[in-house]
Amino acid sequence: MAAQSRQPHFPRPPTIMKCFMLPVAMFAVLSGSVFGLDQETARKQAREILRDDGFWDIAATTGFFDHHGPPRQLPFDALQQGGVRGAMLGIGTLTEIIIARSPIGYNLEEVPAGTNLFRHVFQGAALIQRQLWEFDAAYQAAQKDSRLKIILTAAELEQSFRGDQVGILLGLDTGACINEDLAALRMYQRLGLRKLALVHAPGTSWADSLYGKGADGRLGLSAFGREAVQECNRLGVLVDVSHCSDKTFWDTIAVATKPLIATHSGARAISKINRNLTDEMLRALAAKGGMIGVCGLFDEEESRLAQESMRSPNAVAVSVFLAEKYPDQYQLAAAVTDPRQQMEARKELRLDRSREYSFMPMPEKNALHARILIDHLDHIIKIVGIDHVGIGTDTNMAQAGYPDLIEEIVTALVQRNYTREQIQKILGGNFVRFFKSVTAGTPSQ
């Protein structure tokens, strides 16, 4: 694979100078390992790594399909200049759910049995229709701009690191989209589906999420859920366990015949947010040949500030208001993603926006998220090794600050003395190998 075959670009002294240069080289290595590189030097190395080796985001968001208007386009120039070779996208999450009840503490607390903090906007045939619209929009975007390529095979994924296009793997961010129908899953696969998240925020009738659980607290995966995991394994569709409840995670580990992926999670030992994985979970994931896309966007302090500022209750109130105003699924989906309607609802409800948490500016946010992400990465590598990790930012790759976030992450890796070979694995090499292992001998190959 490209990310692993390239040799580190460290300068080598001439043969006749080896003996003379050895003490100097040893001092440089030891100095780097003790003191680290300064920010400017690390950033220059990060840019070189991104330019030469590229980066693949295991979990990014981008809505090619908006409820109104033509398909969106990616900022290709910025992405290519920043070394972004592609991403695995989940489609549908921004308009398929609304908050159904107050999620205060949901990031840090166990959800009781019989609770679903969220519900899907789209259900039944309308849900499948919407997903087909999103698949179509992604293909339309690729047809309109040759710099975008929809990746279908491991060979195409590997080639994306050597080409000049931005590749995307299409995924669904919730198993609700298959509507308890394996035929729908098979048809999605034929349309290019290469990843299925078993759940997102809401639980489904066949799998518990972190925020939605069956009435008896023992659902995990139902009999249909086990069939769905096995069918994904047969088809070569990656099974994503981020957002699964602990029981759903363990049920999936037990039934899966192929390696699994958690596309955007962290280490619960570092941050006790329930979407992160325990050390035991990390070991089980790695033991099956799986991997984790490390995400640093969920920090306990940020969650606490957001909750204390009443941001979550305000969002709940707006969602409930719009759901009562728009019983039609399509009108509601448009409303919950329309900033003007959000603002009108807040005014009508007389919500106090001064108490809401205002997220920090992008540069400061990037630096914080890079630090948090690498803290999680360091721990996970300590537990399961370098071969089971990648980066899953869970960030909109169309936003202006996205390439800067990637540069900040790679700069942090350089400053923490990760070698060029290790960084290559983290930025894409591990994922290429993982994708090959899951899709080998399947209809997705």
Q: Are 248 and 208 in contact (CB under 8 A)?
A: yes
DSSP labels, 323-348: HHH--SHHHHHHHHT-HHHHHHHHHH
Q: What is the CATH number of the domain that holds 112?
A: 3.20.20.140
Q: What is the pLDDT, as a whole number, of residue 273?
A: 85
pLDDT band at 91 (very low <50, low <70, confident <90, very high): confident
* Cβ–Cβ < 8 Å for 300, 273: yes
Which residue type, as a one-letter code, is found at position 102? S
Q: Does residue 339 sit within a domain? A: no
pLDDT by residue (tens digit) across 59-80? 998 877 766 566 778 899 999 9
Residues contacting residue 406 through CB under 8 Å, at least 6 positions apart? 50, 55, 57, 82, 83, 84, 393
Q: What is the DSSP letter of 175?
A: G
pLDDT for the residue 115? 83
Q: What are phi and psi of 298, to 5 degrees?
A: -120, 95
**Is pLDDT at 9 greater than 70 in this prediction?**
no
6 in a structural domain: no
Q: What is the predicted pLDDT for the residue at 365?
A: 81
In a domain, 2, yes or no: no
Instruction: Indicate whether 23 belongs to any domain.
Output: no
In angstroms, rounded to a whole number, what is the distance separating the alpha carbons of residues 396 and 291? Answer: 22
pLDDT of residue 98: 66
Q: What is the chain's Cα-based Rg?
A: 22
- pLDDT for the residue 27: 31
Share of the chain above pLDDT 70, in %: 86
Instruction: Answer yes or no: are the C-beta atoms of 93 and 174 closer than 8 Å.
Output: yes
Among 25-34, 152-161, 255-264, 329-338, which stretch is predicted with the lowest mean pLDDT? 25-34
d(CA 175, CA 162): 33
Between 355 and 236, the higher pLDDT residue? 236
pTM to 2 decimals?
0.88
Note the pLDDT tens digit of each residue in 129-186: 888 888 988 898 899 999 999 999 999 999 999 988 999 999 999 999 998 999 999 9
Does residue 281 lie in a domain region? yes
Alpha carbons 69 and 241: distance in angstroms, whole number? 33
**pLDDT at 201 (0 to 100):** 86
Determine the average pLDDT of the residues in 337-363.
Answer: 83
Q: How does residue 116 score in pLDDT terms, banded at 50, 70 and 90?
A: confident
Least-confidence region, from 65-79, 92-106, 258-272, 289-303: 92-106
Q: What is the pLDDT of residue 297?
A: 67
Whole-angstrom Cα distance, residue 363 to residue 298? 17
Query: What are the residues whose beta carbons fall under 8 Å from the beta carbon of 326, sequence distance 6 or more?
Result: 332, 335
Residue 13 lies in a domain: no
Residue 35: pLDDT over 80 = no
**Both structure tokens of 372:** 């948090």
300 vs 111, higher pLDDT: 111
CA pair distance 310, 229, nearest whole angstrom: 38
Q: For residue 12, tell me if it sits in a domain.
A: no
Residue-level length of the chain? 445
* Highest mean pLDDT (candidates 24-33, 196-205, 208-217, 278-287): 278-287
- For 211, phi and psi rounded to 5 degrees? -115, 5
Task: Please write the tens of the pLDDT for every residue from 319-335.
Answer: 889 999 999 988 888 88
CA 86 to each of CA 76, 172, 420: distance values in angstroms, whole numbers, following the listed order: 10, 17, 20
**Per-residue exposure over 213-230, b if at least 16 CB sit within 10 Å of its own CB, e if not:** bbeeeebbbbebbbbbbb
Q: How far apart are CA 342 and CA 352, in angstroms?
A: 14
The C-alpha angle with vertex 411 and arms to 409 and 414, in degrees rounded to 5, equals 115
Average pLDDT over residues 431-445: 96
**pLDDT band, very low/low/confident/very high, at 4 (cuts 50, 70, 90):** very low
Q: Give 217 or 332, the one with higher predicted confidence.
A: 332
**Taking 50 as the threshold, does the pLDDT of residue 6 lie above it?**
no
Residue reference for tokens 């669904």: 172
Give domain status of residue 224, yes or no: yes
Of 275, 267, 256, 278, which is closest to residue 437 (Cα–Cα)?
256
pLDDT exceeds cutoff 70 at 96: no
How many structural domains are present in the chain?
1
Higher pLDDT, 271 or 413: 413
Tokens describing residue 150: 């929809």
Write down the mean pLDDT value for the chain. 85
Residues 175, 227 contacting (CB under 8 angstroms): no
Least confident of 33-37, 244-248, 261-265, 372-376: 33-37
Could you tell me the residue range of the domain that residue 130 belongs to? Answer: 39-309+357-439
Give me 396's structure tokens.
Answer: 């909109």
- Residue 193 dihedral angles phi and psi, to the nearest 5°: -65, 130
pLDDT of 298 reads: 65
Bridge-based pairing of strands 389-391 and 395-396 is unpaired
pLDDT at 220 over 90: yes
